Amino acid sequence: MEMFYLIVFGGLSMVVAILEVSKNNKDRINTSCSFNGFKNNYVVVYSLMMAGDWLQGPYVYYLYTTYGFGKGDIGRLFIAGFGSSMLFGTIVGSLADKQ
């Protein structure tokens, strides 16, 4: 099954690479150097933030186990957290877009 995912990932990566290489100048958006600098800075900061968020996951699990929660309880806590983020994030995001 792992080989299937690797083949699909590799195939889709090749499709994206071919599409990116085949673009001509009229398909590309001209941006200023200052915007490109801002964009690159944003990507670096966002990547560091997401990496920090992903790194805390195992420690939150360990924290819950030290508080005496079982595996099922921890699973329900994670599902409740992700579910509420999905629900309320969608609602708050749509309300923010209306402003």
Collapsing DSSP states into helix, strand and coil, what is residue 80? helix
State CA 34 to chain mean position distance: 25
Average pLDDT, the chain: 91
**pTM of the shown model:** 0.51
Read off the pLDDT of residues 48-93 as tens digits, 9 standing for 90 and up: 999 998 898 789 889 999 999 999 999 999 999 999 999 999 999 8
Question: So where are the chain's domains?
Answer: 41-99
pLDDT reported for residue 53: 86
% residues pLDDT > 70 (the chain): 98
CA distance 25 to 82: 42
d(CA 40, CA 30): 15
